[in-house]
A and B are shown apart, each in its own frame.
Chain A
Amino acid sequence: MKVLVSYFGVTLAVILLGIGIFGLTNSKNVIRILLSSEVILNASILFVFSLSSVLGRTYLPIVFSIFAVGMALTEVVVAFAAIILYFRQKGSLEVD
């Protein structure tokens, strides 16, 4: 049962990854690109936990994901500062 849920988790993570890749490549808006990368981050975290559940890893996925989410928070703030600067210079959020 637990293995079934874990493999469903892996499948869902791959589907979310596909949706994230679609959003990343289909949009020219920088905020949409940032949000699509967040979808990919969520997919990767779900994948790590699903696979670790099958492999019996306990602390590794938790520690890895805590650092990943902490760094994602930093990355979002830095990216948003860059986006604000881009918007002030270009007057638009569209990338060329």
Chain B
Amino acid sequence: MSLTSDFQLGIFAFFSVVAMASAIFIVRARNVFYSAIALAFLGVSVAILIADISPEAYSIYSAFHLLLYVGATVVFLSISLVMFKGIDVKEGRIPWSGPLSVIATAVIFIVILVTVGNLPSISPKTVDLQSLAVEILQGYWFPAIILVIGLLTTVIEAISLARRE
């Protein structure tokens, strides 16, 4: 294993731990405002992990994830939560939720192992911004229009919320 590979694996291990710690904090913190802050750390960790998986192919999406997900969604959540008073969360008393999540995780993991365990490995191609834009505009123009309409709805709703209608 080369030095670059060790470095890549080290970064992946570090941010995997950060992602898991953030996710646990999100579901266990008493104040949901801190959970929203932890969601930002989870978003940053996932963006770095995606870039680490294949830097030449997926780093464009990694930047997009940081800008749109962490920069917009999580900041919106965090700022909106300031509007609420007394948002401490009562401890959950649902006894079957722990075993359910463990069983669901185990089943999904086994299904994935069986399904993709023996697939041949092919490296993804290098992606630049121009080719990605051409791919979206030529191959996926209809979902792009739907997304634009959805984001316009978001703007209208944000104005409506701000005016307390």
**CB-based contact A72/B54 at 8 Å:** no
Chain B, residues 134-165, CB within 8 Å of chain A (1/0): the string is: 01100110011001001101100110110000
User: Do A77 and B154 have beta carbons less than 8 Å apart?
Assistant: yes
B1-27 interface bits toward A, Cβ cutoff 8 Å, 1 = contact, 0 = none: 100010011001000100110011011
Closest to A56 in B: B122
Q: Which residues of B contact A93 (CB under 8 A)?
A: 84, 87
> How many A residues have CB within 8 A of the partner chain?
68
Q: Across the interface, do B143 and A62 meet the contact criterion of CB distance under 8 Å?
A: no
Instruction: Select A31's contact among B50, B68, B87, B101, beta carbons within 8 Å.
Output: B87
The answer to whether A32 touches B35, judged by C-beta atoms less than 8 angstroms apart, is yes
A-facing mask of B23-41, CB < 8 A → 1, else 0?
Answer: 1101100001001100100
| Interface residues as binary, A8-28 with B (CB distance below 8 Å gives 1, 0 otherwise) | 111110111111111101111
User: For residues 31 through 81 of chain A, which have their beta carbon under 8 Å from a beta carbon of chain B?
Assistant: 31-32, 34-36, 38-39, 42, 45-46, 49-59, 61-63, 65-67, 69-74, 76-78, 80-81
- Residue of chain B at shortest CB distance from A22: B101
A42/B42 contact (C-beta < 8 A), A21-B105, A74-B153 known: yes
CB of A29 within 8 A of CB of B89, answer yes
Which residues 78-96 of A have a CB within 8 angstroms of B?
78, 80-81, 84, 87, 93-94
Closest Cβ of chain B to A90, distance in Å, is 13
Give A70 to B53 CA distance when docked, in angstroms.
Answer: 22
Interface size class of B (residues with CB under 8 A): 35 or more
> In the complex the two chains form, is B65's CB within 8 Å of A58's CB?
no
Q: Is the CB of A28 within 8 A of B124?
A: no
For A23, the closest partner residue in chain B by CB is: B27
Closest residue of chain A to B51 (Cβ to Cβ) is A49
- Report the bound CA distance from A80 to B108 in whole Å: 30
B49 with A46: CB separation less than 8 A: yes
Q: Which chain B positions have C-beta within 8 A of A87?
A: 84
- Residues B46 and A15 in contact, CB atoms below 8 Å apart: no
B82 within 8 A of A: no
- Are B154 and A74 within 8 A (Cβ)? yes
Q: A25 and B97 in contact (CB under 8 A), knowing A5-B52, A31-B32?
A: yes
Apart from A11-B109, A53-B123: 7 A-B pairs, beta carbons within 8 A = A3-B121, A10-B112, A10-B116, A32-B27, A32-B35, A61-B61, A74-B150
